[in-house]
Amino acid sequence: MALLADYHTHTKYSRNHHGKGTVEQNVRVAYEKGLRQIAITDHGFNQVMFGIRRKDIPSLRRDIEDAKERYPIDVLLGVEANIISSQGDIDINEDDYKDLDILLCGFHRLVKSTSKRERISFINKNVFCELFHHTSKKQRERNTNAYINAMRKYDIDVITHLNHACKVDVEKVARVAKETNTLIELNGKRLGMSDEEILTCYKLGCKFVIDSDAHTPDRVGDCHLGLQAALRLRLPDSCIVNYNNIPTFKKEKRKKRS
């Protein structure tokens, strides 16, 4: 037994060749690697270059249903939403909820924000922070509040690559992740958090999910960075929801709101 699911994979629905494979290819690799469940989670609607378009969701659903008929593996439709303001707005409406089996959320550059001011002070500012490897205390607080508000405002299942490209106070974010039952991702490609920060999440009682963040089919199920961290830090299996286990997500809760 090992990882049974990969809940963070991209396909061609992440536009402009950002995601390389088709739904069928991702699903086939997941099946061949022995996974029992996979989620297709392309970039959120406000990502200017790569985001999936709302009008493509029905076609994505059809591709998923087709793949499910061909391979005996469960496939979830999701999206990797973007945090688009320091108030914690994300690029998902309650109308979108009905379409989502799983909702991931993270910070990404090149996203349409709620206002010009937010674009400058939140999105672009963080791009500069990453570029110069320095995030001021004020910016860190702003980012921390963005994550906290997002988790309280929306039924988010997973926070992706926390502390990558948007530095936060991990302890404060982790407390609200625990309170709101939001999973913290250990990303297979870029961890973002230090070992100490991962342990802080663990000690506060957060649960983790280990995902690949594959942008090509061959990387589906390749979660080595996250797995190595879990082994190195001796995290118990029970705090990793997709290790020897298939978790449930907030789909029903979202349905009631949509």
Judged by beta carbon, residue 91 or residue 213, the one nearer Zn ion is 213
As measured in angstroms, the least distance from the Cβ of 158 to Zn ion is: 11
Say whether residue 213 binds Zn ion (CB under 5 A).
yes
CB of 80 or CB of 118, closer to Zn ion:
80
Positive or negative, the CA dihedral 11, 174, 149, 253 is positive
CB 19 within 8 A of CB 79: no
80 is a site residue for Zn ion (CB under 5 A): yes
Binding mask 147-186 for Zn ion (x = CB under 5 A): -------------x--------------------------
In the complex, least distance from residue 92 CB atom to Zn ion, rounded to whole angstroms: 15
Q: Does 188 bind Zn ion (CB under 5 A)?
A: no
Task: Pick between residue 106 and residue 217 the one whose CB is nearest to Zn ion.
Answer: 106
SS3 for the chain is CCECEEEEECCCCCCCCCCCCCHHHHHHHHHHCCCCEEEEEEECCCECCCCCCHHHHHHHHHHHHHHHHHCCCEEEEEEEEEECCCCCCECCCHHHHHHCCEEEEECCCCECCCCHHHHHHHHHHHHHHHHCCCCCHHHHHHHHHHHHHHHHHCCCCEECCCCCCCCCCHHHHHHHHHHHCCEEEEECCCCCCCHHHHHHHHHCCCCEEEECCECCHHHCCCCHHHHHHHHHCCCCHHHECCECCCCCCCHHHHHHHC
Q: Identify the residue among 106, 188, 221, 226 touching Zn ion (CB under 5 A).
A: 106
Total of residues contacting Zn ion (CB under 5 A): 4
Q: Are 192 and 161 in contact (CB under 8 A)?
A: yes
Among residue numbers 110 through 149, which ones bind Zn ion (CB under 5 A)? none
Window of 32-40, 176-184, 197-205, 210-218 that interacts with Zn ion by CB under 5 A = 210-218
Nearest of 218, 206, 136, 212 to residue 172 by alpha carbon? 206
Q: Which is nearer to Zn ion, 137 or 191 (CB)?
A: 191
Which span sits near Zn ion by CB under 5 A: 73-81, 119-127, 174-182, 217-225? Answer: 73-81
- The nearer residue to Zn ion, 48 or 136, going by C-beta atoms, is 48
Which of 52/198 has CB closer to Zn ion? 52
- Residue 6 makes contact with Zn ion by CB under 5 A: no
Q: Which is nearer to Zn ion, 125 or 215 (CB)?
A: 215
Classify strands 102-106 and 74-82 as parallel, antiparallel or unpaired. Answer: parallel
The reply to whether 42 sits near Zn ion by the rule CB under 5 A is no
Q: Which residues sit at the interface with Zn ion, rule CB under 5 A?
A: 80, 106, 160, 213
